C-alpha cells in the first residue's frame, strides 16, 4: 500500500470533483489536424516501461531545475553541481544521478494547471486532463492492452501498489500489486505463486480444466460487465503464473548476481528499482514504483536532504542496471510527480506549496536521446520559457517510445469514442 499521505491527508478519487475544469471536446477539425501532422517519425525501440511516481509533488527548483541566480525569496538553500554532461547542472544532493546524467534526460518547463494532489496525480498517470464523466486509464493499463502479455509473466506490476486507474479499459488491465518491497539480498516472492499443498502441475491442470467447464453462469455478459471480464482475465493470469516457475523467479531479487545487486542501495526504493529491472528482463511490460513524501509545505530543505539520497541511488542503480543488462534501449523509464512547487518560498513555513505551472519530469531509454535537457523554464522557474510541454505531450512521447499510436481511438463500454491521449503531441527534441 502507498505509505505517504499528502497534505489533505486523503487519497481519494474525487471523481465528480473535476466538474469545474471541464474539457474541450475533440472536434473533427482537431482530429484532422492531429492526423495530418505526421508528428515524429517512429523510432520506437521500447517494449517495456518503468514508471516512477514521486507522489506529493517534488519541488523542481531544488532537484533538477535549480536557479542559482534567482532572487533570494525564490532561490532556496541548495547549490547546483556539474554532471557528466557538460553544461547540465542538478542539485548537489543528487551526486550519483549527476555522474549518470548521460543515461537520462531532464524535461524542464512541463506545465499544467491542476494544483490538487488527486487531480494532478490522475493527470500525470494518464496523460489526459481528468474529466468528470470519464475515468481515463493509466499508462500501465494502456501498455498492457496494447503490447499484451509476455508468456506467463504478469504484464503489469506495481511495487508495492499503484495509483493508476484502469478507467474505461476495465479492471482486467489492473496491475499486480506486490504488496511489499524486497529487502537487500533476501528472497522475494509474491505470496501465493508457489504451488501450494505439494500439488503437481498435472493435478493443477486437471482441476483448472474442471473450473473452466463449470464457470459458465455469467457467459455472455462479459462485454457489458467489466468485473466479469476482469475476473476471467485474472483467472487465466493467475493460473499461468502459478504453474510457471519462471514467473516466480522473476520476483526473486536474491537470484540476481552480487555484481548487479551492488548497483543498488538498501532502501526499499533501491530494492524496488532492482526488482523492476529484473521483472522487465523477465518480460513484464509495465512496472510502477512509488516514492512518496515530496509534499514539502514545511521545512522543504530539511525534508529534501532526506528524500534526495534514495531517489539518487535507486534511480542511478536502475539506469546503470538496465544498461548492464542491455535493456536500456528497450525500456523507457519515466519519472514524475503530480506538480512542481512554488518557486517563491513560503517563508512562514520555510516550504514550498503546490505549483503545477512549472515542473520537471525525467525520461530515459527506449530510443530517447539521453544526456540532455529538453525544454526550459524562465529565470525564476515560474513558467516555461516558451510554450513548454503538457503532461499530455510527455504521455504521447512515452507511448511513442513503445510504438503505441497515442491517437488510436478506443470505445468506452457506453460506446463513447476516445483517443488514448486526447491533446498531446510527441516531443521531437526527445528523439533528436
**Touching another protein, residues 242-261 (CB under 8 A):** 242
Euclidean distance between CA atoms 326 and 322, whole angstroms: 6
Among 33, 71, 183, 207, binds another protein (CB under 8 A): 207
Residue 37 in 3-state DSSP?
A: helix
Residue 141 in contact with residue 166, Cβ under 8 Å?
yes
Report CA dihedral (200, 206, 212, 215) to the nearest 10 degrees.
-90
Q: Is the dihedral of CA 366, 368, 370, 373 positive or negative?
A: negative
Q: Is 238 in the site for another protein (CB under 8 A)?
A: yes
If binding is defined by CB under 8 A, does position 77 make contact with another protein? Answer: no
Q: Per-residue x/- mask for another protein, residues 110 to 149, rule CB under 8 A?
A: ---xxx----------------xx----------------
Q: Is 287 in the site for another protein (CB under 8 A)?
A: no
Query: Strand pairing partners for 286?
Result: 49, 156
Query: 373, 335, 387, 380: which is closest to 355 by C-alpha?
Result: 380
Place of cell 532537484: 63
Question: What is the separation of C-alpha 426 from the centre of its chain, rounded to a whole number of angstroms?
Answer: 17
> Which residue, among 341, 365, 228, 372, has the nearest Cα to 287 in the 3D structure?
365
Binding mask 326-355 for another protein (x = CB under 8 A): ----------------x-x--------x--
Q: How far is the CB of 39 from another protein (least distance, A)?
A: 27
Nearer to another protein, 181 or 320 (CB): 181
The secondary structure of residue 346, as a DSSP letter, is: B
For residues 257 and 347, which CB has a smaller minimum distance to another protein in the complex? 347
Return the C-alpha torsion angle 86, 91, 93, 97, nearest 10.
-40
User: Which of 10/379 has CB closer to another protein?
Assistant: 10
Separation of alpha carbons 373 and 89, rounded Å:
10
Among the listed residues 4, 10, 77, 201, the single contact to another protein using CB under 8 A: 10
Pairing of strands 340-341, 286-290: unpaired
CB of 289 to another protein, least distance (A): 17
Q: Does 40 bind another protein (CB under 8 A)?
A: no
Asked if residues 268 and 137 have their Cβ atoms less than 8 Å apart, the reply is no
Q: Which residues inside 142-181 make contact with another protein, applying CB under 8 A?
A: 154, 171, 174-177, 179-180
> Exposure of 386 by Cβ count < 10 A (0-12 exposed, 13-18 middle, 19+ buried)?
exposed
The reply on whether position 190 binds another protein by CB under 8 A is: yes
Q: Among 38, 86, 198, 258, which residue sits at the site for another protein (rule: CB under 8 A)?
A: 198
Q: Can residue 11 be called a binding residue for another protein (CB under 8 A)?
A: yes
Determine, following the binding rule CB under 8 A, whether residue 239 of this chain makes contact with another protein.
yes
CB of 335 to another protein, least distance (A): 24
Nearer to another protein, 33 or 416 (CB): 416
User: Closer CB to another protein, residue 120 or residue 365?
Assistant: 120
Closer CB to another protein, 68 or 218, in the complex: 218
Subset of 395-414 contacting another protein (CB under 8 A): 413-414
Amino acid at each position: 500500500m502507498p505509505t505517504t499521505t499528502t497534505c489533505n491527508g486523503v487519497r481519494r478519487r474525487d471523481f465528480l470533483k473535476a466538474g469545474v475544469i471541464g474539457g474541450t471536446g475533440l472536434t473533427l477539425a482537431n482530429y484532422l489536424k492531429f492526423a495530418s501532422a505526421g508528428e515524429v517519425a517512429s523510432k520506437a525501440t521500447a517494449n517495456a516501461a518503468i514508471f516512477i511516481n514521486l507522489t506529493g509533488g517534488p519541488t523542481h527548483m531544488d532537484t533538477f531545475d535549480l536557479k542559482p541566480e534567482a532572487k533570494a525569496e525564490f532561490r532556496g538553500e541548495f547549490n547546483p553541481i556539474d554532471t557528466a554532461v557538460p553544461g547540465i547542472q542538478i542539485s548537489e544532493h543528487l551526486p550519483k544521478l549527476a555522474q549518470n546524467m548521460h543515461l537520462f534526460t531532464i524535461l524542464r518547463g512541463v506545465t499544467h494547471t491542476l494544483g490538487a494532489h488527486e487531480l494532478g496525480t490522475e493527470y500525470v498517470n494518464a496523460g489526459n486532463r481528468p474529466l468528470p464523466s470519464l475515468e481515463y486509464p493509466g499508462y500501465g493499463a494502456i501498455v498492457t492492452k496494447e503490447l499484451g502479455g509476455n508468456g506467463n509473466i504478469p504484464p503489469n506490476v506495481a511495487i508495492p501498489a499503484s495509483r493508476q486507474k484502469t478507467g474505461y479499459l476495465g479492471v482486467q488491465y489492473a496491475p499486480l500489486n506486490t504488496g511489499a518491497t524486497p529487502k537487500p539480498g533476501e528472497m522475494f516472492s509474491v505470496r501465493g505463486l508457489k504451488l501450494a499443498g505439494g500439488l503437481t502441475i498435472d493435478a493443477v491442470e486437471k482441476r483448472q480444466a474442471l473450473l473452466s467447464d463449470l464457470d459458465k453462469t455469467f457467459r455472455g455478459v462479459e462485454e457489458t460487465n467489466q468485473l466479469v471480464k476482469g475476473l476471467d482475465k485474472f483467472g487465466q493470469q493467475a493460473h499461468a503464473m502459478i504453474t510457471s516457475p519462471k514467473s516466480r523467479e522473476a520476483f526473486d531479487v536474491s537470484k540476481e548476481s552480487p555484481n548487479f545487486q551492488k548497483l543498488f542501495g538498501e532502501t526499499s526504493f533501491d530494492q524496488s528499482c532492482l526488482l523492476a529491472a529484473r521483472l522487465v528482463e523477465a518480460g513484464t511490460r509495465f512496472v510502477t514504483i512509488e516514492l512518496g513524501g515530496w509534499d514539502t509545505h514545511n521545512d522543504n530543505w530539511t525534508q529534501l536532504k532526506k528524500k534526495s539520497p534514495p531517489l539518487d541511488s535507486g534511480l542511478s542503480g536502475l539506469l546503470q542496471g538496465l544498461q548492464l543488462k542491455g535493456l536500456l534501449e528497450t525500456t523507457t523509464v519515466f519519472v514524475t510527480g503530480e506538480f512542481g512547487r512554488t518557486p517563491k518560498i513560503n517563508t512562514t513555513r520555510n516550504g514550498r506549496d503546490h505549483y503545477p505551472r512549472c515542473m520537471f519530469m525525467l525520461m530515459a531509454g527506449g530510443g530517447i536521446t539521453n544526456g540532455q535537457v529538453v525544454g526550459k523554464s524562465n529565470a525564476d522557474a515560474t513558467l516555461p520559457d516558451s510554450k513548454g510541454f503538457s503532461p499530455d505531450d510527455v504521455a504521447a512521447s512515452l507511448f511513442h517510445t513503445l510504438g503505441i499510436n497515442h491517437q488510436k481511438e478506443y470505445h468506452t463500454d457506453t460506446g463513447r469514442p476516445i483517443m488514448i491521449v486526447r491533446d498531446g503531441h510527441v516531443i521531437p527534441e526527445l528523439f533528436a
